[in-house]
Amino acid sequence: QVQLVESGGGLVQPGGSLRLSCAVSGSIFGINAMGWYRQTPENERDLVADIEGSGVTTYADSVKGRFTISRDNAKNTVYLQMNNLKPEDTAIYYCNADLNPSYYSRGDYWGQGTQVTVSS
């Protein structure tokens, strides 16, 4: 059973920083892209950043220069370092992984979500 477990959310003041982590557990053959999405009650779930197995990264325009995505393949973990946080970054952040549970299968998996609130 594949699971994605997120941690690191919380309440932070504007201009502050948080680091999100997402660890993939269970029996897996390999992990392709990993990423972070966020959702508010008013919006759909949107891409924040993702990172390919090759290390190539993609960022939403709204977070470029402030957020950094990275991964530790030995630990099957993806991170999101968030600096200079703004109130509009407030959302539930979801981890996503495109992975192979076995040699013959491939699927899209999601974490349970972690709340990030930016407020003074």
State the pLDDT at residue 110.
97
Q: Rounded to 5 degrees, what angle do the CA atoms 100, 97, 82 make?
A: 155
State the pLDDT at residue 13.
98
- Confidence class of residue 63 from pLDDT cuts 50, 70 and 90? very high
- Return the amino acid letter for 63: V
State the pLDDT at residue 1.
87
Asked if residue 75 has pLDDT above 90, the reply is yes
State the pLDDT at residue 62.
97
- Confidence class of residue 66 from pLDDT cuts 50, 70 and 90? very high
- Specify the higher pLDDT residue, 41 or 95: 95
Average pLDDT, the chain: 96
